[in-house]
Amino acid sequence: MNKELLRMQQLAGLITESELKGKLSLNEGLDAKTKKYLYNTAGGFLDSTYFDDVKVGDELKFTFNAVDDEADLRTGPDFAKIGDKFVTFEEDGDTKYEVKKVGGDKYEIKVTIKKEVK
């Protein structure tokens, strides 16, 4: 969720000031490399998804293991900031992408469909 929408929700009384700060800090905590890695990982999953049965509001979920190659860890994604609650790492008019840690080196990506896919 973008900053402006979160601030409007807070002004409308839908979320508290502390919830606003928490959501902003979680979303901003992921660096660009991690967001790109997660988006590419989700893209690989979505490429193999049959969309004829997907409806607005559906949540597509899948798990993956964190990068375990030492060289990739030095230059690639930083999973340390991903906790056990879903964090949005990408959102557009069609979909919302979120990630959370499931346990150990396993993570779950949730893709919420916001617009009908044709």
Does the pLDDT at position 11 exceed 60?
A: yes
Residue with tokens 């508290």: 16
Q: Please, what sign has the CA dihedral across residues 6, 21, 31, 68?
A: negative
The pLDDT, as a whole number, for residue 103 is 87
How far apart (Å, rounded) are the C-alpha atoms in residues 2 and 23?
A: 10
Nearest-Å Rg of the Cα atoms of the chain is 15
In this prediction, what percent of the chain has a pLDDT beyond 70?
A: 78
Bigger pLDDT: 111 vs 77: 111
Which tokens sit at 67? 């990068």
Of the pLDDT bands very low, low, confident and very high (cuts 50, 70, 90), residue 66 is confident
pTM of the model: 0.68
Burial environment of residue 117 by CB neighbours within 10 A (0 to 12, 13 to 18, 19 or more):
middle
